[in-house]
Amino acid sequence: MILLQINQLSKYYGAELILSNMKLEVQNKDRIALVGRNGAGKSTLLKIIAGQISHDGGEIIKPKGITIGYMAQDTGLESELTIWDEMLTVFTDLIEQEKELRRLEADMARPDIFENETIYQKVLNEYDTLMVAFKEKGGYQYEADIRSVLHGLQFADFDYSTPISTLSGGQKTRLALGKLLLRKPDILILDEPTNHLDIETLSWLEQYLQSYQGAVLIVSHDRYFLDKVVNLVYEISRNNMKNTMVIIVLI
């Protein structure tokens, strides 16, 4: 399944042509690296795909409903919340559903409802439907997912009630990554995610990305990391004073 298609894309900054004739296709399960020298336009292309900046020519085709998650180069999570509460914000919908389930349970225990067969059946049906949806969306799983991601990103020994504002830059970067992974977007876009990661976190991330259910698009200068994770490499390279795209096929 094609998740994203880019044709003839171009981008100017002022009078300078930064990207021209970019062509890229992302299919489900693809593990794509975007490489090129410093200033080649890798981050610019990712920002365009993520919808953060505009482009000047060409087209981006994305089927309705396909979700994109993007982590910019050198960004950390800025938040007033604690580690745990911030991770919970990814699951607001599920938490709301959980409250609704509790509310329906309380309703079913009310004498005026359970003594009225018709009304009771109606509430029970609503409860069943909501329960199935809650389960399917991972309602019984999300807290374990948060723990697992925090563990992988070396927060196992942390008190999860620590305010994020008190953490270091590197820790904030890892949390930004963690939050994005928990969102599980169809296309996961990471701009140099391995900067400031230690060996243990790196190898956890490698494994996580290898088994990721969606597609992954990564910019990284870390060849060793890319070798472990990607199966397709696009290089942005300069010819005729323009940056265009070359596909490097991996063996």
Pick one of 1, 12, 13, 135: the residue that binds ligand ATP (CB under 6 A).
13
Pick one of 41, 76, 139, 185: the residue that binds ligand ATP (CB under 6 A).
41
CA–CA distance, 159 with 4 (Å, rounded to integer): 40
199-210 helix and 142-152 helix, angle to the nearest 10 degrees: 140
Candidates 35-43, 55-63, 136-144, 151-159; binding stretch for ligand ATP (CB under 6 A): 35-43
Question: CB under 5 to 8 A by kind: which of Mg ion, ligand ATP, none does 44 bind?
Answer: ligand ATP
Nearest approach, Cβ of residue 6 and ligand ATP (Å): 15
What is 81-142 written as a DSSP string? SBHHHHHHGGGHHHHHHHHHHHHHHHHHTSHHHHTSHHHHHHHHHHHHHHHHHHHHTTTTTH
- Other C-beta atoms closer than 10 Å to the C-beta of 156 total 9
CA–CA distance, 215 with 96 (Å, rounded to integer): 28
Question: CB under 5 to 8 A by kind: which of ligand ATP, Mg ion, none does 18 bind?
Answer: ligand ATP
CA–CA distance, 198 with 58 (Å, rounded to integer): 39
Q: Enumerate the β-bridge partners of residue 243.
A: 238
Nearest approach, Cβ of residue 20 and ligand ATP (Å): 12
Which x/- pattern over 66-95 shows residues binding ligand ATP (rule: CB under 6 A)? -------x----------------------
Nearest approach, Cβ of residue 13 and ligand ATP (Å): 4
Pairing of strands 215-219, 242-248: unpaired
Q: How many residues bind to ligand ATP according to rule CB under 6 A?
A: 11
Pick one of 44, 79, 194, 220: the residue that binds ligand ATP (CB under 6 A).
44
**In this structure, what token pair is assigned to residue 7?**
């044709």
Report if residue 218 touches ligand ATP, rule: CB under 6 A: no
Report if residue 33 touches ligand ATP, rule: CB under 6 A: no
Report if residue 51 touches ligand ATP, rule: CB under 6 A: no
Nearest approach, Cβ of residue 87 and Mg ion (Å): 27
Nearest approach, Cβ of residue 219 and Mg ion (Å): 6
H helix runs in the chain, sequence order:
42-49, 83-88, 92-108, 111-114, 117-136, 142-152, 169-183, 199-210, 223-229
Q: Which residue is nearest to Mg ion (CB)?
A: 43
169-183 helix and 199-210 helix, angle to the nearest 10 degrees: 10
Which CB, 38 or 92, lies closer to ligand ATP?
Answer: 38
Q: Which residues bind to ligand ATP, rule: CB under 6 A?
A: 13, 18, 36, 38-44, 73
